[in-house]
Structure 1
Amino acid sequence: MERTCAVLLTLAASCYSPRLNEGTPCASTADCPFPQRCVLGSCAQRVPAIDAALPVDAAESEDAAAAAIDAAAVDAAPDAMPLPCMTSGLTCGGTATTFPCGGHCWARCTGSATWTAASQACMGWQGALGEIDDATEQSCVAGHVSTATWIGLRQSDAATRPADGWGWNGSTTPLVYMHWQSGTPNDRDGNENHEEQCGKIQSDGTWDDVSCTATTPFLCERN
């Protein structure tokens, strides 16, 4: 008799195991056996720590729980630290110096390169060819230029007119600020023939379109 009772008690305990049906799909906590709760559409015994901070109604909402977990992941991530403003890692082929403009670190390289080679050098520095977004940044950058120098100006291959399709570093987003030299961009003869699809900043600060295979010093920029 004692053995029979022990067996029955064991079976009863298993029926009321807190992990029974764990993982079963649910719409709310009411669909789950106590003490499980409905978390992200499934019955769960071990509720994520983020769930403890939620009101009961919010915990039963899959959307609210997912949003809270996403927010916690963002909060847990360390703040991104800006890279130091130094030339380490920049393959220049000449003298490289840094200066701040527009809240970013800029590097001027005196070594000559094609636009593509200059772009690759800037990416190796974890940056890009310089992008000038407003008149204040334009004035700052121009003060550090004494000769024609590559910046990130690039024209789309789909452009049908010399003035069309210009963006920064291959982006299709149109320029919001421009400081072209009078009469440019002109693709050399005023007709769009894709001969001059890259841009430089000149010693007077104005921009000019030139062949991407020309070699000049270049300006890199990074956060």
Structure 2
Amino acid sequence: MNGFRIILVALVLLLNLVGVSPAWADPPKLTGTPEYAEVTQAIANLIRAKAAPEESDLTSVEIEQKLGALNLQKYILETASHYSQCRNSTGSTIAVFAHKAKKAPQSPSVLYYLANGEMTEDEWSCDGVYLPTGTKLAGLSEVTEPTVAQFVSGTRLNATVNAQGELEFNLAPSKFAKSSDSVLPIPDLTVATIQASLPNAPIED
């Protein structure tokens, strides 16, 4: 047993030296991020609005809906085992924003093309899905300008297309970013341009 322990310790040291994280490495710590603080503050604000509905511009139904969405986001941030990942199950190439979160958490998010059936790599953070003008999103009005659907960090996103030809996500976006109000370099691309682009997103092996 002592020999086994020595071998195990040596293996862990070797993995650290070559920069490879062992399979049991700690998950990303997302509860200390500004995003987590923003979500918890929004929940606190809604709880106050729920206690004094006459002072809120929201109906009781809207408050409950927003609380449900925010509590889910809080849960994801607290329990995430990976950085955000996006899976493309739409049947064609889509565009996503991503950055290498594990080694360069402050690096800028860049637009990549993700092939159908692929998922972004778990050491990268998929920061959002690009929605070109004219995109039909299930449950929402048609997109009228280039937009990025963003999701809370730690989300395991799956993008699909329903029977009506509308884009669907397994989780609701936490926000929508447009070029006029975002630091993301949001280009003006057509659906045809995206679908014809060569996939280059970092993906799972």
Task: Check whether TM > 0.5.
Answer: no
TM class, shorter-length: under 0.3
Which TM-score applies when normalising by structure 1? 0.24
Q: Which protein has the bigger helix share? A: 2
